[in-house]
Amino acid sequence: MKDMFCASASAGNEKEWKVAMIELENANKEAADWLSRIPSTLWSRSHFTRSSKYDILVNNLNESFNNYILEARELPIIGMLEWIRRRLMQRIQTKRSGMQKFQGEICPNIAEKIDKNQRLSRTFVATWDGGHKYEVDCGVRKCVAVNLKNWTCTCGYFQLTGYPCAHACTAIGVCRLPIKNYVHTCYTRAEYLKTYAHTITPVPSDIYWRTCEEETINPSVVRRMPNRPKKLHRSAR
């Protein structure tokens, strides 16, 4: 059943998603009904907006950030924020310097994914219609249509990710065009450097801060109610 769920979550188009959901329903109707109650835009690639250029299904980014600040979470609030600020200063500079040394036009991670799709595309056969469209035979009684003018593929991954899927790589190989012409600009070295072009300004210790002439704002006085404070949490109804 896990494989059936993964198939419905990773489906790149609505047709494949429906087929996967039917298979899941036949195997476990209760699980399929529970999954259907969750908006598919939150968990299935087939319903992700095509302008997102994002196909990740897991929350590894959140988990990585929590692990990143694990040491800082034990600090007082000001110390925690200062720790995060310094780490971000270092990270931005490291990312910027690393990409400045890179000589390619497409970012390394995306270039690696495209290379993988190109290797997979060698087993496919494309038929050209004379214009911008190609019929790609994937074998096992499966064909998809690729439109290089509109950057679309029946599988849905070309328009979802913004770089050529394996089917699109087959079509691009037939017309002998540079693969980089069909990669969204957000994956280029130039755009990456723009992302990390900003800097976080260093902050000196408070003894060097400018003296404020305005009225000092103090925290409000805490009013403690009589009797012993309750420790048990009262659940909302």
Q: What is the pLDDT of residues 96-149, one digit of tens each?
A: 999 999 999 999 999 999 999 999 999 999 999 999 999 999 988 889 999 999
Q: Looking at residue 217, what is its pLDDT? A: 86
Token pair recorded at residue 85: 């600020």
| Cα–Cα dist 172/134, whole Å | 9
Per-residue pLDDT reduced to its tens digit, 189-219: 999 999 999 999 999 988 898 888 888 888 8
State yes or no: pLDDT of 226 exceeds 90.
no
Helices within 13-107 (DSSP H only):
14-27, 29-36, 60-68, 77-101
H/E run at residue 180: none
- What average pLDDT does this structure show over 9-36? 90
Q: Looking at residue 96, what is its pLDDT? A: 96
- What average pLDDT does this structure show over 164-174? 96
Model confidence at 236, pLDDT cuts 50, 70, 90, reads: low
Q: What percent of the chain has pLDDT over 70?
A: 96
State yes or no: pLDDT of 184 exceeds 90.
yes
State yes or no: pLDDT of 229 exceeds 70.
no
- Whether residue 115 contacts residue 173, with contact meaning beta carbons closer than 8 Å, is answered with no
Model confidence at 188, pLDDT cuts 50, 70, 90, reads: very high
Exposed e or buried b per residue across 47-74, where buried means at least 16 C-beta atoms within 10 angstroms of its C-beta: ebeeeeeeeeeeeeeeeeeeeeeeeeee
Q: Looking at residue 213, what is its pLDDT? A: 84
Higher-scoring residue by pLDDT: 51, 125: 125
H/E run at residue 187: none
